[in-house]
Structure 1
Amino acid sequence: MSEQTEVVETGTAPVSGLRGSVGVAGIVFLVVAAAAPLTAIGGALPVMLAIGNGPGVPAAYLVVAVVLLLFSVGYAAMSRHVVDAGAFYSYVTAGLGRVTGTGAAGLALLAYSAVQAGVYGLAGTTLDGLVVKYHGPDLPWWLWSGLLLGCVALLGYRNIDVGTKLLSVLLILEVGIVAVVAVAVLVQGGADGIDLTSFTPDAFTTGSPGIGVMFAVASFIGFEATAIYGEEARDPKRSVPKATYLAVILIGVFYALSSWAVVLAVGSDKVQEAAGKNTSGLVFAIAEQYVGSAASDLMEVLLLTSLFAALLAFHNAIARYLFSLGRQGSAPSVLARSHARHGSPHTGSLAQTLSAVVIVGAFTLAGADPVLDLFTWMSGLATLGILVLMILVGVAVVAYFARTGVDRRPWHTRVAPVLGVVGLAVVLWLVLDNFTTLIGGSAWLAHAFEALVVLAFAAGALSAVRRRA
């Protein structure tokens, strides 16, 4: 049975297809770009060090990577039998039925739309700061966000190969500068010499390990993209599984080693205090100290390109979700149209651009802070939504293989997926326990966002019930 036939049986009736020639490397670039490595290291890491488990943050990244690798075993196995731009949504549909699957689609759209809108706030502020630093005009952040939004809309409308090439260049640059700083720290021996304290149980349990793990999970958002691009891959049977494992390993190792270098640069016993005193500038100060002011300046510029890469990656993911929903009849059929020349989900791309304008515009009109409100709140909402979605996928993988028997390998179809679900459930509990901290807001706002996740799932499921009736 072919992969496309399997999708039809799970409720997808393809009326048009996407075209592309993305290989393993291209898919990995798209996934890692969504993770925005420099944004995670330059922005989220100091916060993790300050209010999380301090010197134990590198271990937190490794713990999350192990959980996601367990999840990836079943996810990769599923990708050989279900090829669809909806990815998570399509997998849940295949394993748990159309109603639950459409509920998952509602969750996915909420989560990815939220995180992309949040990144627009941070990117607009970052661009404004760079322009002012180099003697340009100091304009409102939303004007810069609008400029970035236009660029993303243009690239997202075209063939996926165009965006992949740009993301590849930007990603190499941002990973390269972080690697240079990390190597410089290790070569110079850091503040107190090289040690492995960060990877010990005592370090991991320092301070608030739950917050460290919670932020680590947020740094992996975009992980789903390996399967989203299956239809545009040269050989999805091989490309998606390989890309899935490579992406998780590369992201996890990169974060662990980079954060370890930051800990060593300041000292294991001093890094938590230092991060608390200079949260926004810690990594840039380390770059200047160990490499030079030019490296620090370059890192500031590449932080902007990192954010842009994430914006484009999330835009592509949402457009393909809308394409898949339109193709199944779960959304207006116009969204299922692919561009005659580019082979891209161009109507889904336009719809995604409009939704980003609406969300960012609403925060702008409300006078919200682009970082403390828009970025922080939306990132927290996305983290919660993605975790729930991944747990649903893990359960769906087990159910799918138990029902169909198309793959009888115990490790791939039962053991690893169940262990992954258990690990994700523990992480979800940690996120809920620290959710107010994650969004930097009040308890009532945290509860409102938790309710919004439930409502997004319910709205999707209800729409499927109504169509069935």
Structure 2
Amino acid sequence: MKFSEIIGYDRYGTVRELKTALNHGTLDTKDVTLSALGFNAPAWVAASSMSILYAITGHRAPLAILIAYFFPMLVLAFSMVSLTRHAPSAGGIFTFSSRFLHPNVGTILGWTYTVACTAVTPMCALIGTEYIQALCPSVGGVLNAKIIGALMILGFFAVSCRGVGVTAKVAGTFLIFEIAVVAGLGLLGILHPRVEGLSLASMYSLRDAGGLAGIGPGVLFGVWMLANFDSAINYIEEARVPVRTVQRSMLLVLTSAFVIYSLAAIGWQYAVPVDKLAAIVENGNGGPISAVANAYLPPSVAWLALFVVITSAAAGLQISSNAAARTLYRMSEEGHLPAGLGVVNRHKAPWLATALVSIAGIALVWWKPLDKIVWYYDVVTITLVASYISALAAFIVLTWRQQRLVVAVLLSAPALLAVGALAYIGYTAGANPVSPEDLYNAWYMGAATLVAGMLIVIFHRRGNEGAATENLEAS
């Protein structure tokens, strides 16, 4: 049996129709891939994360990204490819957990994934605002930042309500700019190096990095950079060939992000000494992107380094709000949340769910402004870790149900190791925070999210029991 058959790759587009009120048959593989890659947000992730990765691993940043790509992220991707074939729906994490673990677990983890995507929405708005203010100092200030962030969320709420076709076009347009700059500057560094004496082989030397123990922290950070490829699942109900489109897109998004970040991690240190890149504090000035752009671009166009971070943040904002809304929509359609969240407008967009996510995003922009950005990192990290672990657990259950003993063992082993790696990321998010005052915050917020999901289960169950009692009395 071929590996593609084992993981359930829908090679011939067998699954053609899905039960949905969304705009079915609108998106092709390119549209879904660009939209999901927009959620990965290469430019602002590179701006905020690459200097930290250099500080952790030095010249071995490309090696950390390479290891993170193959393990655990590729394992997670193949697991989701299999799950998507057997449980296709817009609310991927929710559906996987509901069908292969337990319906109540599905509600809790669906809510957890929604919280992750909802937190990304204001985080992207704040990052975009920071760079807007850097480009236009006249609109600086904390109050203006809150206003700009809220306007960004409102603007993309309006775009999302126009339907998934418009959403995909806007996200794809933004993505072109950021990929061209992030990867293009990396290629410039490789083709026209300004730093002498660097060896590509040494960048991938595990021995020079001090072994797995030395590169481990960088690998964990690389996992964070490569995350969010799974947002492609949220568009499955609007794809022309649902399962095959999403399966292809998830692998394409993850691999594209790996290539983009690898080019940047290699090429940027050929342009600017790695110790200088590691010392750059990202504060709205473009971070390492700006430093590399200044090395190659004339001053008249160096502003592009700031501009692409804005477009990157905008794309991430839009796609994250859509991911949260589509999860709420699917949970509503399956009877796990109030029916109103499944309402769509004339463009077949889940406008009410999108509105709630946007309102929550605006509230967070005002409650947790830019100086609280670590709070967003903690929330997103811990909730995504919980979501991904649940997907891997669902894959393991599915594997043991469908495969022979030997195959089940072989497929479950890397999935279990991936669970361990992700669990360790969740542990380090709380035990080793960016700031000492944020010690254990990620754990607290993760626990609060899970408790909130449990309360949703309890209240929904009581509501159903009350409705059943009323119907019985009426009859």
Q: Pick the TM interval, shorter chain.
A: 0.7 to 0.9
For residues 394 and 371 of structure 1, the distance between their equivalents in structure 2, rounded to whole angstroms, comes to 33
For residues 285 and 461 of structure 1, the distance between their equivalents in structure 2, rounded to whole angstroms, comes to 50
Provide the residue aligned with 2:253 in structure 1: 247
Amino acid aligned to 2:428: D
Structure 1 contact 118–376 (Cα < 8 Å) conserved: no
For residues 390 and 25 of structure 1, the distance between their equivalents in structure 2, rounded to whole angstroms, comes to 24
For residues 294 and 417 of structure 1, the distance between their equivalents in structure 2, rounded to whole angstroms, comes to 54
In the TM superposition, 1:51-200 aligns within 5 A as: 52-66=56-70, 67-132=72-137, 140-196=144-200, 197-200=202-205
For residues 73 and 442 of structure 1, the distance between their equivalents in structure 2, rounded to whole angstroms, comes to 34
Structure 1 contact 22–232 (Cα < 8 Å) conserved: yes
Residue of structure 2 aligned with 1:276, choices 272, 275, 279: 279
TM-score for both structures, normalised by structure 2? 0.85
Going from structure 1 to structure 2, the CA distance change for 1:460 and 1:308 (only over 3 Å counts) comes to same
Structure 1: state its 5+ residue gaps.
8-13, 364-369
SS of alignment partner, residue 226 of structure 2: coil
Aligned-residue CA RMSD (Å)? 2.7
For residues 392 and 408 of structure 1, the distance between their equivalents in structure 2, rounded to whole angstroms, comes to 22
Structure 1 contact 288–294 (Cα < 8 Å) conserved: no
Going from structure 1 to structure 2, the CA distance change for 1:282 and 1:227 (only over 3 Å counts) comes to closer
SS of alignment partner, residue 84 of structure 1: coil
Deviation per CA, 1:389-433: give whole Å up to 9, x if none.
111111112213433x3x77976x763454134124223314413
Amino acid aligned to 1:24: T
Residue of structure 2 aligned with 1:386, choices 380, 384, 387: 384
For residues 118 and 385 of structure 1, the distance between their equivalents in structure 2, rounded to whole angstroms, comes to 14
Structure 1 contact 398–414 (Cα < 8 Å) conserved: no
Between the two proteins, the alignment pairs up a number of residues equal to 444
Amino acid aligned to 1:149: I
Provide the residue aligned with 1:220 in structure 2: 226
For residues 139 and 103 of structure 2, the distance between their equivalents in structure 1, rounded to whole angstroms, comes to 52
1:351 aligns with 2:348: no
Residue of structure 2 aligned with 1:232, choices 224, 230, 238: 238
1:419 aligns with 2:424: no
Deviation at 1:461, TM superposition (A): 4.7
Amino acid aligned to 1:371: L
Deviates more, 1:441-450 or 1:154-163: 441-450
Deviation at 1:288, TM superposition (A): 0.9
Deviation at 1:60, TM superposition (A): 1.7
Amino acid aligned to 2:127: L
In the TM superposition, 1:416-455 aligns within 5 A as: 416=411, 418-435=413-430, 437-440=432-435, 441-455=437-451
1:310 aligns with 2:305: no
Deviation at 1:199, TM superposition (A): 1.3
Matched-pair identity in %: 19
Amino acid aligned to 2:65: Y
Structure 1 contact 227–240 (Cα < 8 Å) conserved: yes
1:266 aligns with 2:272: yes
For residues 317 and 366 of structure 2, the distance between their equivalents in structure 1, rounded to whole angstroms, comes to 16
Structure 2: state its 5+ residue gaps.
1-13, 466-475
Deviation at 1:17, TM superposition (A): 4.0
Provide the residue aligned with 1:366 in structure 2: none
For residues 58 and 398 of structure 1, the distance between their equivalents in structure 2, rounded to whole angstroms, comes to 30
Deviation at 1:25, TM superposition (A): 0.9
SS of alignment partner, residue 136 of structure 2: helix
Deviates more, 1:59-68 or 1:318-327: 59-68
Amino acid aligned to 1:397: F
Amino acid aligned to 2:278: A
Deviation at 1:4, TM superposition (A): 9.6
SS of alignment partner, residue 427 of structure 1: helix
Provide the residue aligned with 2:468 in structure 1: none
Amino acid aligned to 1:419: P
Structure 1 contact 105–460 (Cα < 8 Å) conserved: no
Provide the residue aligned with 2:342 in structure 1: 336
SS of alignment partner, residue 394 of structure 1: helix
For residues 81 and 320 of structure 2, the distance between their equivalents in structure 1, rounded to whole angstroms, comes to 21
Provide the residue aligned with 2:398 in structure 1: 400
Deviation at 1:220, TM superposition (A): 2.9
Provide the residue aligned with 1:28 in structure 2: 33
For residues 285 and 191 of structure 1, the distance between their equivalents in structure 2, rounded to whole angstroms, comes to 13
Deviation per CA, 1:208-254: give whole Å up to 9, x if none.
64442333222234222121111000001311111111111111121
For residues 186 and 20 of structure 1, the distance between their equivalents in structure 2, rounded to whole angstroms, comes to 41
Deviation at 1:157, TM superposition (A): 1.1
Deviation at 1:147, TM superposition (A): 1.5
1:325 aligns with 2:326: no
Structure 1 contact 92–393 (Cα < 8 Å) conserved: yes
For residues 104 and 119 of structure 1, the distance between their equivalents in structure 2, rounded to whole angstroms, comes to 23
SS of alignment partner, residue 338 of structure 1: coil
Going from structure 1 to structure 2, the CA distance change for 1:292 and 1:435 (only over 3 Å counts) comes to farther
Deviation per CA, 1:119-176: give whole Å up to 9, x if none.
22222222222222xx567662101101211111101112111011111111011100
Amino acid aligned to 1:455: V
SS of alignment partner, residue 219 of structure 1: helix
Amino acid aligned to 2:163: N
Going from structure 1 to structure 2, the CA distance change for 1:157 and 1:417 (only over 3 Å counts) comes to farther
Provide the residue aligned with 2:9 in structure 1: none
Structure 1 contact 319–348 (Cα < 8 Å) conserved: yes
Deviates more, 1:142-151 or 1:189-198: 189-198
For residues 208 and 35 of structure 2, the distance between their equivalents in structure 1, rounded to whole angstroms, comes to 33
For residues 406 and 453 of structure 2, the distance between their equivalents in structure 1, rounded to whole angstroms, comes to 30
For residues 445 and 215 of structure 2, the distance between their equivalents in structure 1, rounded to whole angstroms, comes to 23
Provide the residue aligned with 1:459 in structure 2: 455
For residues 214 and 382 of structure 1, the distance between their equivalents in structure 2, rounded to whole angstroms, comes to 15
